[in-house]
Amino acid sequence: MCNHQGTQQRKNLQQQEVELTEFEKQLINGYQGDFPLTAEPFQTIADALNTTSEKVQKTISDLLDKGVLTRFGPLYNIEKIDGAFSLCALKVPAQRFDEVTELVNSYVEVAHNYQRDHEWNMWFVLAAESEQALETLFNDITKITGCPGLNLPKQTEFFVGLKFEA
C-alpha cells in the first residue's frame, strides 16, 4: 500500500498540458503547501473536501503517475543544513548536445538540467558537500565535456516559491 515513495520521479518529464478534473484542480490548488502534519493527513484533507481518504490518496497517486505532479512531500531549503549549491551553464555545440546531456546527467550531483535557447544552452543545478567540492565538480564537468562553463552560485536570494494555479 505504501509503495509509491521512491517511484515518484518516473514520469516527471511530461511536458504536455494534462486535462484535469475539478477535484484534481482542487487538490493541486489547495495543497501545494500546507499538507497537513497530522497522523492521518489524507483523512484531514478528505474531511475538508468532503470526500474519502481513499479518493484523496488515489488521486494524488494518479497525478504522480501521469506526471502532473513531480513530487509529493516536504520541499527542503537544504542550504540551511549543509552543502553548497550553484547554478551552472555550459555552451554546448549543437551536434554534441545529446552526448553532453548524457555526461552531465550521469552526475547524481546534477539536479535540474534544462536546455535553453541561448548560446549558453545547458543550465543545471549542482549540489555538493562543500564550496570546494562544488568547484572541483564544476571543473570536472567542464573538463570531461570540453565545453566552456559558467559557475554562478547565488549571492542573494530575493524570492523562492510561486504556487501554480491548475
Partner 1 sequence: MGLKQSKQISKEALVKKVMAATQTGLPICDHPYQVIAEQVDTTEDELLDIMQDMTSQGLIRRIGLVPNHYALGYRFNLMTVWDVDDSEILRLGTQVGQLSFVSHCYQRPRKAPDWNFNLFAMVHGRSEDEVNRQVETIHQLLGSACGEMAQLNSVKILKKTGLRIRKD
Amino acid at 165: E
CA-to-CA dists, residue 137 to 37, 86, 100, 109, 113, angstroms: 37, 11, 15, 9, 15
Q: Which C-beta is closer to partner 1: that of 14 or that of 143?
A: 14
Choice among 1, 95, 108, 112 that is catalytic: 112
- Kindly identify the residues of this chain, within the stretch 14-33, that bind partner 1 according to CB under 8 A: 14-18, 20, 27-28, 31-33
**Lookup: cell for 61:** 497517486
Interaction with partner 1 in 38-57: which residues (CB under 8 A)? 38-43, 53, 57
Closest distance between partner 1 and the C-beta of residue 40, in Å?
Answer: 6
Query: Which are the contacts of 61, defined by CB distance < 8 A and separation ≥ 6?
Result: 4
Please state, in angstroms and as integers, the Cα–Cα distance from residue 129 to each residue in 79, 95, 132, following that order. 10, 33, 8
Q: Does 157 bind partner 1 (CB under 8 A)?
A: yes
Round to whole Å and give the CA distance between 46 and 55: 8
Q: Based on the residue annotation, tell me whether 112 is a catalytic residue of this protein.
A: yes
Out of 44, 47, 51, 66, point to the residue binding partner 1 (CB under 8 A). Answer: 66
Closer to partner 1 by CB, 105 or 132: give it. Answer: 105
Contact mark string toward partner 1, 70..99, x via CB under 8 A: xxxxxxxxx-xxxx-x-x------------
Separation of CA 51 from chain center: 29
